[in-house]
Each structure stands twice: as structure tokens, then as C-alpha cells.
Chain A
Amino acid sequence: MNRLPDLSPDKSPLTLVEVIYSTTIREVMSTDPITVERNTPMSTVQQLMRDQGISGLPVAEQGRLFGIVSVQDLIEALQQGKLNVAVSNCMTERVVTLEEDMPLSMAISTFSKYRFGRFPVLNAAQRLTGIISVRDINVTLVNRLLQQVSKFESMFDSEVTPGIELNRVFHTRQHDFENGGKASTTIKKHLVDHHVDRSLVKRVAIASYELEMNQVVHSIGGTISYRITPEAVEILVQDRGPGIENVDQALTEGFTTANEWIKSLGFGAGLGLPNAKRVSDIFFIHSEPGVGTTVKAVVYLQPKKEEKHETE
């Protein structure tokens, strides 16, 4: 019950990481927890747990925490017929606590570490102000993520304006650096004018520019065709040769066949195809030496399940 999935920053989606780091324990915990005092009899604990459906009670007096009494402690008291003894004889005294101002991430790592069902929460003055359970965390996470999802949805609903549809073909010529980037710049402007989300524009710009410059640098010329719908930007790049000997190698970061002159212009570092592939939702490349290279890169403008394709 108290097992949480691995929510470490390097393994979780950014939105989730932001939520767990920007939310404090104060916002998540249950306030005014039911407590018992040191001299409360265990029979009262039994009653409270049954009636309130709770499995752990902080032992506190005027906000000062003395321990915690759990279902486990109650079961032991029952077995030993000690229902009339005071809580102080049965409680766990060494309590792991959390503080109000800590981020939620801290609570999650504490739950993973100790496997208790709940932790008392103290304020800066070390007074008991709340209690936090895995259920509190789950409820908060689900609510925050629902908020984020509806925010994303409304973003997509309102962002893309009518008239975004476009079919356009650009031509490139070998080593025509003068015009290199024109197609990408034109398409970027079109997307910005139609209020496409900046991060998506950026991804299209990267894929488009890298593929465009690849044609200028490496091929003997070809075409770049764009098909833009409210759902996606599809870039189809076709050249007339010379083709790529080893496509896997070309997709490896750092691999390059560019000459020194091209490198001196800031290109040909072997980042082009890997960059383009990284930012695309669908990436497909087919090349035949002596014939030419075709690349199709798609960036979705609407949330969709992501898939990546490499060579045929």
C-alpha cells in the first residue's frame, strides 16, 4: 500500500517533477490530525481507529509530539491483553517526522525509504500541525496532474488558428549557402503566425533546418516539401544523390563526411541527422547510393502517441 513508483527526476516526466518539487508538504498533508495523549488507554485507541478508519495516531500534547501509535502496536496490546494500559507504554517513540515547508519530493523519498503508512508533520517550531499519508500524496498528484492536462488541452484547443493548412515545395541547390535556411525560415514564420506553441515551432525549425542544410551541404540538390495540417507538420526531403553509404553511421552523433570548407562554416559536425531525428515524432530515412536520399520527419501539433521509426 505504501509503495510509490520511482518518481526520481531523471525518470519522470517534467510536469510531474515540477509538481513534486514545487508543492510543499503543507499543501498536501491533512491538518488537525486526531491525536491521543500519553495517558490515553489503548482501548480508546482501538475505538478511534475503528470509528475513524485510521491506522496510525500521533501521540501529542499541546502540539508537542511524543510518539506514534500504529495498528501494529494495537494488535500487540490486544494479544497481550493490555487494552487498559496507557498509550505511552505501547507507542513508538522514535518517530520519523517531516516538516511543513519541505517539498513533496522529500515526503515521497521518505515513504520509499521507511515504508511506514504515514508521517507526522511539524512546523518550524517543531509543533505537530498535520499528518501525511500515501493517500494524501496520491490525491494531490492526481489533482495537480488533472489540472496540468486540462491546461495542455485548452492550450491545444485555442492555439492553432484557422488557415494553418499549407502545402509547399522548396528547391535546394548544392552548396547554395546563400539560400540555405530559406525554406525553414518561411515555414517557421508561418507556424508562428498561426500561434503554434513555441516549443513545437522550435522542434519543426530544428528538423527542417538540419534537413535543409544537409541537402545544401551533401546532396547535388533536391526538394523539401511541407504538408501542414492542424494536427501535424510533415517534412518530406528528397534529393537526387549521391545517397548515403551507411545510414546507421549517418545517424550517429559526430559522424561526418563534410570537408574542411563546410566545417569552417559551422556545419558538418555530424549533428544534423541526429538532431533532426531527436526532435521528430516520426522519423524515416531511406537512402540508396547513386540514387538519392528521402527523409520524412513529422512533428505532431496535437498530443498523440509518440512513435519513432528509423530505417525501413
Chain B
Amino acid sequence: MKLSEMATHANWASLQPEFVDSEVEAAYTSDLLSDVMANAHDADVLITIQAHNNTIAVASLAGIKGIVICNDRSIPEDMLASAAKEKIAIFRTSQNQFQTSQTVANALDA
């Protein structure tokens, strides 16, 4: 399933159009950036509430292609600008991390 298809399926708002619409095979859920760095291995999507610029740096270093910001947290402009520069997708959802993880897991299993 492609990132854009996943977003449509899960009803996420896509907040910046400049991203590589790659295939989603795995996701990682964490709000701890050091943990993401160390363990997100080959995750394509990061599910988190960390809506700031450093999340983009970590995502870029860890090879993550899309970030889902949970609980409708507001996303600063500079984060969106960095994401566009790194070609990383940013989505937002009103669901929490658990619900979002469940949605992604179900979609990947289907």
C-alpha cells in the first residue's frame, strides 16, 4: 500500500504535498526520538505526537518516508518546510498513537 493510499484509507489529513509516495511495509510508534533513531530500522511510517523540526531530522536519518502526527496536534510551519525539503510526508489525525497503530497494522495485514 502506498503512503497516499494509506492516508486516504485511514482518513489522515495530508499537510504537505512534496513527498515520495513510496510503498508502506512497516511502521514504528514512539514519542522518544532517541528510541526512533535506535529502533525504527526499516519503518516507512512514524506514528508520534512529536510535532517539531527535530522529528524531521530523525525521520530523514532513519529513512522514514512519512510521519503521522496524532491527537490533532498543531504542526509548526518550519516542520512542514523541513519535511518538504526532505520529501517526507506529514499527516495528521485526531486518533491517538494506539488507534493509529492499529489502523496501520490492519491495513498492512489486509
Q: Which A residues have a C-beta under 8 Å from some C-beta of B?
A: 177-178, 180-182, 184-185, 188, 198, 202, 205-206, 209-210, 213, 265-267, 269, 271-272, 275, 278
Contact = CB atoms under 8 A, between A and B. Distances in A.
Contacts of A205: 37, 61-62
Given A205-B61, A266-B31, A177 B37 contact: no
- Interface SS majority for chain A: helix
A82 B94 CA distance: 86
Contacts of A181: 54, 57-58, 60-61
Contact of A180 (B35, B38, B48, B54): B54
A209 B61 contact: yes
Nearest to A263: B32
B32 A184 contact: no
Given A266-B50, A271-B38, 18 more contacts: A177-B53, A178-B53, A180-B54, A180-B57, A181-B60, A184-B57, A185-B61, A188-B60, A202-B63, A205-B61, A206-B38, A209-B58, A210-B37, A213-B33, A266-B54, A266-B55, A271-B34, A275-B34
Interface string B30-69: 0111111110000000001010111101101111000000
Nearest to A188: B61
A92 B38 CA distance: 55
B78 interface: yes
Contacts of A271: 32, 34-35, 38
Contacts, number: 67
A269 B34 contact: yes
Given A272-B34, A275-B38, A177 B54 contact: yes
Interface residues of B, number: 21
A224 to B, nearest CB: 14
A272 B61 CA distance: 15
Contacts of B34: 210, 213, 266-267, 269, 271-272, 275
A178 B50 contact: no
A275 B50 CA distance: 20
B52 A269 contact: no
13 contacts: A178-B53, A180-B53, A181-B60, A181-B61, A185-B60, A188-B61, A202-B62, A213-B34, A266-B34, A266-B54, A267-B34, A269-B35, A272-B34
Contacts of B58: 181, 209
B19 to A, nearest CB: 17
